[in-house]
Structure 1
Amino acid sequence: MDMPGIPPFHALAAMLLTVAMFVAFARGRIATEIVSLVTIVIIALGLFFFPLEGQHQTDGLTLAFAGFGHPALITICALMIMGRGLVVTGALEPATRLLSEVWKFNRSLGMFVSLVLAMALSMMVNDTPVLVLLLPVFVALAERGAMAASKTLIPLNAAVLIGGMATTIGTSTNLLVVSIAADLGMRPMRVFDYTHIVAVAALFALPYLWLVMPRLLPDNGQAFARNRRVFSATLRVDDDSDLIGETPRDLQARMPEDFQFEGSLDRQITANSRLPVSGSHKALEEAMRSLKARVAPAWVVERINAAARGHASDVVVVEMAVTAESRLVGLTIPSSGVAGQFGVAVLGIHQQTRGPDVGRHEYSELQLRPGDVLLVMGSLAEIEEFAESDRLLLLEGVVEVPRRSKAWLAGAIMFGSVFTASIGLWPIAIAALGGAILMFATGCVKFDRVGRALSANVIVLVAASIAIGRLILESGAAGWLGQLLSAGLQFLPPAAIVAAVMLFVTLLTNFASNAAAATVGTPIAFSIAQTLGLPVEPLVLAVLFGCNLCYATPIAYQTNMLIMEEGQYKFGDYLRTGVPLVILMATVLSIMLVITYM
Structure 2
Amino acid sequence: MPGIPSFHAFAAMLLTVGMFIAFARGRIATEIVSLVTIALIALGLFFFPLDPARPTDGLMLAFAGFGHPALITICALMIMGRGLVVTGALEPATRFLDRVWKIDNRLGMLVSLVMAMGLSMMVNDTPVLVLLLPIFVALAERGAMAASKTLIPLNAAVLIGGMATTIGTSTNLLVVSIAEDLGMEHIRVFDFTPTVAIAALVALPYLWLVMPRLLPDHGTANLRQRRSFAATLRVDDDSDLIGLTPRELEEKMPDGFRFEGPLDRQITANSRLPVSGSHKALEEAMRVFKARVAPAWVVERISAAANSQQTDVVVVEMALTAESRLVGLTIPSSGVAGQFGVAVLGIHQQQKSPDRGRHEYTEVQLKAGDVLLVMGPMAEIEEFAETDRLLLLEGVSEVPRRSKSLLAAVIMVGSVATASLGLWPIAIAALGGAILMFMTGCVKFDRVGRALSANVIVLVAASIAVGRLILESGAAEWLGALMASGLQFLPPAAVLAAIMIFVTILTNFASNAAAATVGTPIAFNIANTLGIPAEPMVLAVLFGCNLCYATPIAYQTNMLIMEEGNYRFSDYLRTGVPLVLLMATTLSLLLVVFYM
What TM-score results when the alignment is normalised by the length of structure 1? 0.84
Structure 1 residue 323, shift from structure 2 partner: 0.7
- Which amino acid in the other structure matches residue 415 of structure 2? S
Change (3 A) 1:207 1:11: closer
Structure 1 residue 545, shift from structure 2 partner: 1.9
Distance 2:247 2:390 in 1: 36
Structure 1 residue 125, shift from structure 2 partner: 3.7
Could you say which residue in structure 1 is the equivalent of 2:543?
542
1:11-59 deviation digits (Å, cap 9, x = unpaired): 1122112212212222222222222222222222222222222222222
Verify the 8 A CA contact 1:115 1:156 in the aligned structure 2: no
Verify the 8 A CA contact 1:186 1:537 in the aligned structure 2: no
Distance 1:16 1:494 in 2: 31
Distance 1:462 1:574 in 2: 18
Verify the 8 A CA contact 2:118 2:161 in the aligned structure 1: no
Q: Are 1:157 and 2:156 an aligned pair?
A: no
The number of aligned residues is 572
Structure 1 residue 500, shift from structure 2 partner: 2.8
SS in 2 for 1:393: strand
Identical aligned pairs, as a percentage?
Answer: 67
Distance 1:571 1:468 in 2: 20
Q: Are 1:60 and 2:54 an aligned pair?
A: no
- 1:166-565 superposed matches below 5 A: 166-167=161-162, 198-210=196-208, 228-492=226-490, 495-504=493-502, 514=508, 516=510, 518=512, 521-532=515-526, 533=528, 534=534, 538-548=539-549, 559=561
Distance 1:479 1:115 in 2: 37
- Which amino acid in the other structure matches residue 258 of structure 1? G
Distance 1:459 1:6 in 2: 35
Distance 1:446 1:200 in 2: 45
Structure 1 residue 211, shift from structure 2 partner: 5.7
1:402-431 deviation digits (Å, cap 9, x = unpaired): 222222222211111111111111122211
Could you say which residue in structure 2 is the equivalent of 1:585?
583
Change (3 A) 1:181 1:471: farther
- Which amino acid in the other structure matches residue 307 of structure 2? R
Verify the 8 A CA contact 1:79 1:126 in the aligned structure 2: no
Change (3 A) 1:310 1:215: closer
Distance 1:270 1:310 in 2: 36
- Which amino acid in the other structure matches residue 262 of structure 1? E
Change (3 A) 1:459 1:86: same
Distance 1:60 1:182 in 2: 31
Distance 2:458 2:468 in 1: 15
Task: Report the more deviating stretch, 374-383 or 9-18.
Answer: 9-18
Change (3 A) 1:195 1:443: farther
Change (3 A) 1:391 1:357: same
- Which amino acid in the other structure matches residue 52 of structure 1? L
SS in 2 for 1:525: helix
SS in 2 for 1:547: coil
Verify the 8 A CA contact 1:131 1:157 in the aligned structure 2: no
Distance 1:61 1:358 in 2: 67
Could you say which residue in structure 2 is the equivalent of 1:19?
17
1:540-589 deviation digits (Å, cap 9, x = unpaired): 423332213569xxxx9565786589xxx9989985x7665444333344
Could you say which residue in structure 2 is the equivalent of 1:39?
37
Change (3 A) 1:195 1:133: farther
Alpha-carbon RMSD across the aligned residues, in angstroms, is 3.9
Structure 1 residue 161, shift from structure 2 partner: 2.1
1:200-255 deviation digits (Å, cap 9, x = unpaired): 533333344446667899999xxx88871110000000000111111000011111
Verify the 8 A CA contact 1:192 1:422 in the aligned structure 2: no
Change (3 A) 1:342 1:493: farther
Distance 2:2 2:180 in 1: 25
SS in 2 for 1:347: strand
1:362-393 deviation digits (Å, cap 9, x = unpaired): 11111100000000010100000000000000
- Pick aligned residue for 2:139 from 122, 137, 143: 137
Distance 1:458 1:53 in 2: 32
Structure 1 residue 264, shift from structure 2 partner: 0.8
Verify the 8 A CA contact 2:550 2:572 in the aligned structure 1: no
Verify the 8 A CA contact 1:162 1:198 in the aligned structure 2: no
Task: Report the more deviating stretch, 52-61 or 408-417.
Answer: 52-61
SS in 1 for 2:350: coil
- Pick aligned residue for 1:49 from 23, 47, 50: 47
SS in 1 for 2:315: strand
Structure 1 residue 262, shift from structure 2 partner: 0.6
1:307-354 deviation digits (Å, cap 9, x = unpaired): 111111001010000111000001111111101111111110000121
Verify the 8 A CA contact 1:319 1:375 in the aligned structure 2: yes
